[in-house]
Structure 1
């Protein structure tokens, strides 16, 4: 019995050892297959490029920077790193149009800015309107306030509008996309250097041209943002006037005085304009006066002629009636 038990125990141990070795064999074979499959492309030297997978990989590489920029709220960014576009609009009155225009152009050049657009209208031969100027200037952002103060000293600012646009998020977004495309471009160049098949080379070059085109667009956007941020836009509408708009006056007496003086000035200006109009149009007035006089004289003559024929006709009829009466009387006398 003891021998039988020992034999059974040995058999059980042998079966357990066989089962353990059988379970471990598939794992080792599968691991070997996986490692051989992973090493096979490297050993064969073939290069395969998938644009979608490459973009995903580049996006994962650029994701940390983009997430950092997106995660940083606006209030954490310092003012120096913000991308702010400032636009200022000014309505200006002046009594001396030429002097003001020249001083503004000199001030723009002295501050290191430039005129983006300029337009002058008015003061034509047939127009009584005053001159008007529209100027769009680009001034360095650090010198805009000084320029506005200078314009207020040499002219009368009647309207001022100031606006600021924050493009920090757009700028960071474009910058992160540009970095991601640069990384992808470097990887494409490495793959292109190792490529041997014609299909792979054509595919890589097509993707490279697309990446370079997108990079140029993003670089152009960044340059535009930088220019708009570094140089603020100041728009000036300059009008030539005969009298400058006075400051707001609150007392009733000052308002009455200002209104009365403006009325007197308007009357004087109206008389001047009428005198100028009369002198300018005097030749036309003389021609029309002569024509009207001739027409009146002709009409009077025609009327006189018409009135003169009527009495003659009446006289003829009266003579005929008198003659008939005399003939009738003579006939009666003869009968008697």
Structure 2
């Protein structure tokens, strides 16, 4: 009986030891699994800086690549044709014309076209009028335009800018295509043996050369208009330049201009009256003589009538 109790107690002890070992083993494996899971979760977090750095490195490489592209192929400046129309008044036409020629020489410009005529008649006087087409280097137009104030009083101004960048690029692209086509035709022409083929290729080649020359001419014309801006200048000879009054002109300046214009009009009125008398003096003398003779005849006839009575 006692033996069986000892055996039972021993068995229970063994069982408890086994349960305790199993419990420790489960906790250890659980701890290991938890540790492994934690490691598995923490690995992406630890890898995140690497991903970020790789992204930053990729962005920096991309940015650096863009920088290279911008340096290797900078944006081409726009090709613009500028035309400026200016109108001037002057009381000294010869002096203004000479001053204009000096300015043209100073800025290496040239006169493309000019016309001077007497087309304005006022107060029995003829006034000259000049039209000038002047080509000016585009890097000197500001200084050139500023000095034009020396030739007279500017009364109007108009500036027009035409962007021909696309037209220029299209013409260049077409010229490259035509040049490539010409080279191919020449290569085929060297290999051609039949007369018909040679005639056909030569005809096509002549058309290509004609178009190529036209494209070159168009580019040269565009380059000329871009590099040399065009000024259309009109110069009108007048007795008195116009007063420039705006809404900002002060009342005192307006009174001064009115008084000056009044004196000018009075002076010119007297001058024109005297000139008119001088122009009509022969007629006045003839009419005076006729009236004088008529008066003498009338007076003589009246005396005879008085004697008869």
Q: Same fold (TM over 0.5)?
A: yes
Partner SS state of residue 131, structure 1: strand
- Partner Cα distance (2:191, 2:291) in 1: 101
Partner SS state of residue 249, structure 2: coil
The answer for the alignment partner of 1:272 in structure 2 is 271
The answer for the alignment partner of 1:214 in structure 2 is 211
Partner SS state of residue 108, structure 2: coil
Instruction: Return closer, same or farther for 1:293/1:144 CA change in 2, 3 Å cut-off.
Output: same
Q: How does 1:54-133 map to 2 (within 5 A)?
A: 78=75, 81-122=77-118, 127-133=124-130
Task: Give the drift of 1:91.
Answer: 1.4
* Aligned with 2:199 (options 202, 224, 228): 202
- Partner Cα distance (1:158, 1:226) in 2: 31
Partner SS state of residue 127, structure 2: coil
The answer for the alignment partner of 2:143 in structure 1 is 146
The answer for the alignment partner of 2:131 in structure 1 is 134
Instruction: Return closer, same or farther for 1:247/1:77 CA change in 2, 3 Å cut-off.
Output: farther
Task: Give the drift of 1:291.
Answer: 5.6
- Partner Cα distance (1:259, 1:88) in 2: 33
Instruction: Return closer, same or farther for 1:202/1:251 CA change in 2, 3 Å cut-off.
Output: same
Instruction: Return closer, same or farther for 1:246/1:298 CA change in 2, 3 Å cut-off.
Output: closer
Structure 1, residues 29-77: CA drift from partner, whole Å, max 9, x if none? xxxxxxxxxxxxxxxxxxxxxxxxxxxxxxxxxxxxxxxxxxxxxxx98
- Partner Cα distance (1:250, 1:125) in 2: 31
Pairs aligned (count)? 228
Instruction: Return closer, same or farther for 1:273/1:209 CA change in 2, 3 Å cut-off.
Output: same
Task: Give the drift of 1:292.
Answer: 6.7
Contact 2:138 2:229 in 1 (8 A): yes
The answer for the alignment partner of 1:234 in structure 2 is 231
- Partner Cα distance (2:119, 2:204) in 1: 60
Task: Give the drift of 1:84.
Answer: 0.7
TM-score scaled by length of structure 2:
0.65
More strand by proportion, 1 or 2? 2
- Partner Cα distance (2:182, 2:243) in 1: 64
Task: Give the drift of 1:290.
Answer: 4.5
Q: Could you list the runs of 5+ residues in structure 2 that have no partner in the other structure? A: 1-72
Instruction: Return closer, same or farther for 1:178/1:231 CA change in 2, 3 Å cut-off.
Output: same
RMSD between aligned residues: 3.1
Contact 2:86 2:233 in 1 (8 A): yes
Task: Give the drift of 1:155.
Answer: 2.8
Contact 2:99 2:150 in 1 (8 A): no
Task: Give the drift of 1:289.
Answer: 4.7
Structure 1, residues 173-229: CA drift from partner, whole Å, max 9, x if none? 111111111111111111111111111111111101111111111111111111111
Partner SS state of residue 130, structure 1: strand
The answer for the alignment partner of 2:249 in structure 1 is 250
Q: Could you list the runs of 5+ residues in structure 1 that have no partner in the other structure? A: 1-75, 309-336
Partner SS state of residue 182, structure 1: helix
Instruction: Return closer, same or farther for 1:159/1:221 CA change in 2, 3 Å cut-off.
Output: same
Task: Give the drift of 1:300.
Answer: 6.8
